[in-house]
Amino acid sequence: MKPVPRHEIVEVQRRVSTGRAHETLQEGLKHGFLVLMLTFAFFPFVFMIYTSLKTEDAIVHNFWSPPIAAEEWNAAENYSKAWQVVAPYVKNSLIVTTANVVGMMIVATLAAYAFARFRFPGRQFFFFMIIALLMVPGVLTLIASFMWVKGLFWSDSLNLIDSYWVLILPGIAGAQVGAIFLCRGFFAGLPTELFEAARIDGASDLQIIWNIVLPLSKPILGTVAVMNILGNWNSFLWPLLTVGDKSMYTIAIGLRYFTGQFSNSYGPMFAGYTLASIPLIVLFLLTMRHFIAGLTSGAIKA
């Protein structure tokens, strides 16, 4: 066997070393780009938090820097002032969002199960009609929806303005389209043998939904619930149009007036923004696993 010349071995080693250096450089550039993007994404939130901890004097003289010296901290007073104003708005948003999500999940689960597991005339037609509603912007139905809840189509006895119902009932109805679309695809992909075995054992449809469908559909249901919670918590235009009583303001509307009240006090203003964000942060931390699993399985399958 002819020995390999030394200069060829050196050339191979040089190429391998160069290739590894290029790979290391590429990985470093990728990670650096990701760190830069994360910095741009999270810096406003971090800035909001540490600004809410500072005194007004520290904000004016050291606007971009976090509080370092003891005299620059004023967290207790800022959050106390903010909570006194924001607390009613947070309570209203919690009530409206919880009722919306529970009602939406019940109706969407039953409807999606019917479309996925029942065979009836017009099933595909009605499902496609529901999907077609995804192409209708909500702003096009805004005036008609307002006239409906105001009672102008029927009688003034239906007037729901300045009540929780004006935020709950339209919210449940409006969230059905996307929820049915996602859940129906996921339910249809569940093994048929499970449903057949349950029916042989004498289980009703409600028992099948409760004992089989819901436990197996936690990822997609979690995804739908989180998306609905975000939509309800951040909803602005519909509450602004239908709620005039200040005691009924949700967090999105309340922060508008809260900002005007503390327009010259940045510490309490940023503290209020932070308090309004905490429920969503806690929600995502608790449901992150189900949310990501739903996006990578059920939502794509649908």
Scanning 52-141, the segments in alpha helix (DSSP H) are 56-61, 75-117, 123-132
Is 88 a residue whose pLDDT tops 90? Answer: yes
By mean pLDDT, which of 182-196, 235-249, 252-266 is the weakest? Answer: 252-266
Report DSSP state, residue 53.
T
Taking only the tens place, the pLDDT of each residue in 203-230 is 899 999 999 999 988 888 888 988 899 9
Give the percent of the chain with pLDDT over 70: 87
Please indicate whether residue 113 or residue 68 has the higher confidence score (pLDDT).
113
- Asked whether residue 52 carries a pLDDT value surpassing 70, the answer given is yes
pTM for this one? 0.81
- Residue pair 220/294 in contact (Cβ under 8 Å)? The answer is yes
The pLDDT value recorded for residue 3 is 62
- Render the burial of 36-54: b for 16+ CB within 10 Å, e for the rest: eeeeeeeeeeeeeebbbbb
pLDDT tens for residues 271-280?
999 999 888 8
- DSSP one-letter string for 162-198: TSTHHHHHHHHHHTHHHHHHHHHHHHHTS-HHHHHHH
